[in-house]
Amino acid sequence: MIPAPAFLANPERFMAFSRWAAPLLGVIAVGLAAVGLWLGFAAPEDYQQGATVRIMFIHVPAAILAMFVYVCLGVASLLALVFRHVLADAAAQAAAPLGAGLTFLALVTGSLWGRPMWGAWWVWDARLTSVLVLFLFYIAYLALRASIDDEAKAARAAAILALVGLVNLPIVHFSVYWWNTLHQGSSMFTRGALAPVFATPLYLMTLAYLAGFGSLWLVRIRGEVWRRRAEAAALRAARA
Amino acid sequence: MQMPDLDFGKYAAYIWPAYLITALVFAGLIAGALRHARHWKRRAEGLRRP
């Protein structure tokens, strides 16, 4: 049997952990973002892209997090399906709106970067299209959960949908290599592809987004735990 | 260290909206998460009281 993470196995332990971890991650996110933005705005203009290189510091972290959050959604959904653990299901449910928001940001900031660089707001490029599909998976997940009254059935159906959507992640990542795309290849994970003056704020902003997501995810999971407790208490009161 | 340069020239019309939309989406995600958690915490604690 695959051992679930300890904090996922015990709601009380999770609530005690997240009570201090959520605000701490929030403070770390704000600090990293402040330094990252300062360095990003102080960086010189790129010799090819000019001042639009500043959009990279908010676009690339959003795109990376859009995929990372979907991995979290997929893993939590798998744990919820296999172990039928309520905290794993709450984690999946809590990740979806955050992932949808980050994917929306990746699409919009990418469009605002693409217009001056490519001359188009949108092209049906493999990377852009696969990220749009990722966004649609998030929306479909949220819509499916909202459309089924039975919570257990909704959780199972949405978890299966989330697992199907995992197939799209390698397509998003490798799209720039598999197809001839307008979108540039990965520069963040390629050694020497970015000058330190651009790489440092980019890494800081990515860590800020990661910490921010961690904080908001914990807050949303806590909200889900309370919602389930409130609904269970209301049901008990109605039966009494 | 160089000071931040906020003069984006002809690209300002793309850069500022990108940062503004990012700020708005993050504000929405933060407000939504806190409101959701506070609402259900109050409901759960209210139902637990005798």
Residue A32 has pLDDT above 90, yes or no: yes
Q: What CATH number is given for A11-239 in this structure?
A: 1.20.120
ipTM summary value: 0.91
Report the candidate in A76, A25, A59 with the shortest Cα–Cα distance to residue A202: A59
Give the minimum alpha-carbon distance from A166 to chain B in angstroms, rounded to a whole number: 23
Give the pLDDT confidence of A75-123 residue by residue, as tens digits.
999 999 998 888 999 999 999 999 999 999 999 999 999 999 989 999 9
What are the tokens at A132? 């749009």
Q: Are A78 and A159 in contact (CB under 8 A)?
A: yes
**A157 reaches B (C-beta below 8 A):** no
Judged by CB atoms closer than 8 Å, whether chains meet at B25 and A105 is answered as yes
Is a pLDDT exceeding 70 seen at residue A234? yes
Interchain CB contact of B3 with A (< 8 Å)? yes
CB contact under 8 A, B18 and A59: yes
Q: A167-205 pLDDT, tens per residue?
A: 999 999 988 888 877 777 777 667 777 888 999 999 999
Residue B14's Cβ-count burial label (10 Å; 0-12, 13-18, 19+) is buried
Tell me if chain A has a CB within 8 Å of the CB of B49. Answer: no
Which whole-number Å values give the CA distances from A189 to A44, A199, A210, in the listed order? 21, 10, 16
- Residue range B34-45, pLDDT digits in tens: 999 999 999 988
User: Above 70 in pLDDT, residue A151?
Assistant: yes
pLDDT at A2: 46
Model pLDDT, residue A50: 84
Q: Are the Cβ atoms of B26 and A227 closer than 8 angstroms?
A: no
